[in-house]
Structure 1
Amino acid sequence: MIAWLNHLVDLVEENLTEELDVDGLATALGTTEYHLRRMFSTLAGMPLSEYVRRRRMTVAAADVVSGSADLLGIAVRYGYGSAEAFGRAFQSVHGVSPGQARRDGGPLRTQPLLRFRLTVEGALPMDVRLVSRPAFRLAGHATRVPLVHHGVNTAIQQHVTSLAPQEHARLKALGDAEPHGLLSVSTDLDPDRREGTELTYLHGVAVTDAVEVPVDLDVIGVDAGSWAVFRAAGPYPDTLQAVWAATASEWFPSNPWRLRPGPEVVAVLERADDFSTATVELWLPVEAGS
Structure 2
Amino acid sequence: MIGTLNRVVEHIDDHLTDDIDIAALATGLGTTEYHVRRMFSSLAGMPLSEYIRRRRMTVAAADLLGDDGMLDIAVRYGYGSTEAFTRAFRAVHGVGPSDVRRTGGPLRSQPQLRFRLTVEGNTPMDTRLTDRPAFRLVGHSTRVPLVHRGANPHIQAFIAGLPAPEHERLKALSSAEPAGLLQVSADVDPDYTEGTDLIYLHGVAIGADTAAPDDLDVIEVPAGQWAVFRVTGAYPDALQDAWAATATDWFPSNPWRLRPGPSIVAVLDRAADFRTATCELWLPVERG
Q: Whole-Å Cα distance in 2 between the matches of residues 154 and 111 of structure 1?
A: 33
Check whether the contact 1:130–1:226 (CA below 8 A) recurs between aligned residues.
yes
Q: Whole-Å Cα distance in 2 between the matches of residues 62 and 174 of structure 1?
A: 61
Q: Is the aligned partner of 1:28 residue 2:32?
A: no
Q: Whole-Å Cα distance in 2 between the matches of residues 92 and 210 of structure 1?
A: 50
User: What amino acid does structure 1 have at the position aligned with 2:119?
Assistant: V
Q: How does 1:192-203 map to 2 (within 5 A)?
A: 192-203=191-202
User: What amino acid does structure 2 have at the position aligned with 1:50?
Assistant: E
Q: Whole-Å Cα distance in 2 between the matches of residues 26 and 178 of structure 1?
A: 32
CA distance 1:116–1:209, shift in 2 (3 Å):
closer
C-alpha distance after superposition, 1:128-185 (max 9, x if no partner): 0001110000000010111111112111111111112111111111111110111010
User: What amino acid does structure 1 have at the position aligned with 2:8?
Assistant: L
Q: Secondary structure at the match of 1:179?
A: coil
Q: Secondary structure at the match of 1:151?
A: coil
Check whether the contact 1:17–1:77 (CA below 8 A) recurs between aligned residues.
yes
Q: Determine the structure 2 residue equivalent to 1:134.
A: 133
Q: Whole-Å Cα distance in 1 between the matches of residues 123 and 192 of structure 2?
A: 27
User: What amino acid does structure 2 have at the position aligned with 1:22?
Assistant: I
C-alpha RMSD of matched pairs (Å) = 1.1
Q: How does 1:50-69 map to 2 (within 5 A)?
A: 50-64=50-64, 66-69=65-68
What is the TM-score of this pair, normalised by structure 1? 0.97
Q: Secondary structure at the match of 1:285?
A: strand
Could you list the structure 1 runs, at least 4 aligned residues long, displaced by more than 3 angstroms after superposition. Answer: 209-212
Q: 1:67 deviation in Å?
A: 4.2
Q: Determine the structure 1 residue equivalent to 2:113.
A: 114
Check whether the contact 1:174–1:211 (CA below 8 A) recurs between aligned residues.
no
Q: Determine the structure 2 residue equivalent to 1:224.
A: 223
Structure 2 residue runs of 5 or longer lacking an equivalent are none
Q: 1:9 deviation in Å?
A: 0.5
User: What amino acid does structure 1 have at the position aligned with 2:171?
Assistant: K
Q: 1:105 deviation in Å?
A: 2.0
Structure 1 residue runs of 5 or longer lacking an equivalent are none
User: What amino acid does structure 1 have at the position aligned with 2:280?
Assistant: E
C-alpha distance after superposition, 1:16-35 (max 9, x if no partner): 11111212221122111111
Q: Determine the structure 1 residue equivalent to 2:41.
A: 41
Q: Determine the structure 2 residue equivalent to 1:95.
A: 94
User: What amino acid does structure 2 have at the position aligned with 1:145?
Assistant: V
CA distance 1:31–1:210, shift in 2 (3 Å):
closer
User: What amino acid does structure 1 have at the position aligned with 2:51?
Assistant: Y
Q: Determine the structure 2 residue equivalent to 1:260.
A: 259
Q: Whole-Å Cα distance in 1 between the matches of residues 282 and 77 of structure 2?
A: 40
User: What amino acid does structure 1 have at the position aligned with 2:84?
Assistant: A
Q: Determine the structure 2 residue equivalent to 1:208.
A: 207
What is the TM-score of this pair, normalised by structure 2? 0.97
User: What amino acid does structure 1 have at the position aligned with 2:194?
Assistant: E
Q: Determine the structure 2 residue equivalent to 1:80.
A: 79
CA distance 1:209–1:23, shift in 2 (3 Å):
closer
CA distance 1:88–1:276, shift in 2 (3 Å):
same
CA distance 1:170–1:23, shift in 2 (3 Å):
same
Q: Secondary structure at the match of 1:96?
A: coil
C-alpha distance after superposition, 1:33-60 (max 9, x if no partner): 1111111111111111000001111111
Q: Whole-Å Cα distance in 2 between the matches of residues 238 and 86 of structure 1?
A: 39
User: What amino acid does structure 2 have at the position aligned with 1:32?
Assistant: T
The percent identity for this pair of structures is 67
Q: Is the aligned partner of 1:159 residue 2:158?
A: yes
Q: 1:273 deviation in Å?
A: 2.0
Aligned residues: 288
Q: Determine the structure 2 residue equivalent to 1:6.
A: 6
Q: Secondary structure at the match of 1:56?
A: helix
Q: Secondary structure at the match of 1:193?
A: coil
Q: 1:210 deviation in Å?
A: 5.2
Q: 1:191 deviation in Å?
A: 1.1
Q: Whole-Å Cα distance in 2 between the matches of residues 169 and 133 of structure 1?
A: 25
Larger deviation: 149-158 or 131-140? 149-158
Q: Is the aligned partner of 1:124 residue 2:123?
A: yes
C-alpha distance after superposition, 1:71-110 (max 9, x if no partner): 1111011110000110110111111111122222222111
Q: Determine the structure 2 residue equivalent to 1:150.
A: 149
Q: Determine the structure 2 residue equivalent to 1:182.
A: 181
